[in-house]
Every structure is written in C-alpha cells, then in structure tokens.
Amino acid sequence: MTTMLPRLRRFAASLTGNMTDADDLVQDTVERALRNLHRWQADTRLDSWMYKIAQNLWIDTIRARRVRATVSGEVAEDAAVTDGVRTAEAQLTFADTCRALAGLPEEQRVVVSLVLIEGLSYRGAADILDIPIGTVTSRLARAREALAERVFGPGAETKL
C-alpha cells in the first residue's frame, strides 16, 4: 500500500486543488481503507479500490462544504527542470494547466486525473468511476479540448 502513496497523493491533489487538502484526503483514504480492508477483494486492483475511496471521500467533502477547490501553486513543488528559461516556461505552462484543470467540471477533472495523470487505462478509469467506457472517452475528449484551448489559446489543436 505504501508504494502507491505518491500516485494517490497526485490523484488527491488533482481532486482537491491544493496539497494541504490532498494530504488530508490521502490520510482519510488510507484510514478508511485500513478500516475496511476486509471488504477489498484480493482478485481486484488495490490502487483502483483506493482511488475509488478517495474519490468518494472527496465527493462527500464537496457536498459538505458546498465549495469548489482551486488548484494552487503548491502542486508546482513536484515539477522540476534544470534549465532556467525552460524552468520558467514550464512553471508558467504548469500553472496555466493547473488553472485550466481546476476550471474543468468535476467529472472531466477526475477522468483527466485518472487517465492522463495516473496513467490508468480507459477501462480502469471506467471501473473506478463505475461508468461506461464510452463516457470516459467522451469526457476525456471534451476535457482535452477545453484544456488545450485554455492553455494554448482558442483554436489550438489538442496536444494532450
């Protein structure tokens, strides 16, 4: 379980929009998983089960707060490049991408996080979200278009 914590933390950050809430979400997810470990089926993927727990906890948090989180620059701590000019450009693009990601509807943001950030297959994301694979495909296509337009400008081809 500990080997998947960095991935779970990235997923949580993409849901919450900031590292403080993400760390809280990861902690709550691990606690809930440990309390309910007897419910996990050994023939299924542990990471998928953990992502589903995190997503459900975040949905509960949003409902309780009735507030949408925004992605802050704290996530940029994880991005590192060596060249000064490229570092600045990468940080600006990263910040633009984080803002664009935060502006997506929740259902698109979750699919982007699972497929593009965490590298899950469309089928894996569909299973975690308990939706048809076609829904994952269409949400991802709409999200890619919106992100490309917001990051690279109107009429930009999807580069994601």
14 and 112 Cβ atoms separated by less than 8 Å: yes
pLDDT in tens, 124-145: 999 988 999 999 999 999 999 9
Half-sphere exposure of 54 (CA within 13 A, CB side): 30
Q: What is the pLDDT of residues 67-104, one digit of tens each?
A: 443 444 444 444 444 455 666 666 666 777 778 888 88
The architecture in CATH of the region 2-152 reads: Up-down Bundle (1.20)
Give pLDDT tens digits for 9-67. 988 888 888 889 899 999 999 999 999 988 888 888 888 899 989 988 887 787 676 54
Measured in whole angstroms, how far is the alpha carbon of residue 93 from the centre of its chain? 17
Sign of CA dihedral 20, 21, 22, 27: positive
On whether the CB atoms of residues 152 and 100 are closer than 8 A, the answer is no
Instruction: List CB contacts of 66: < 8 A, sequence separation 6 or more.
Output: none
pTM: 0.56
Domain residue spans of the chain: 2-152
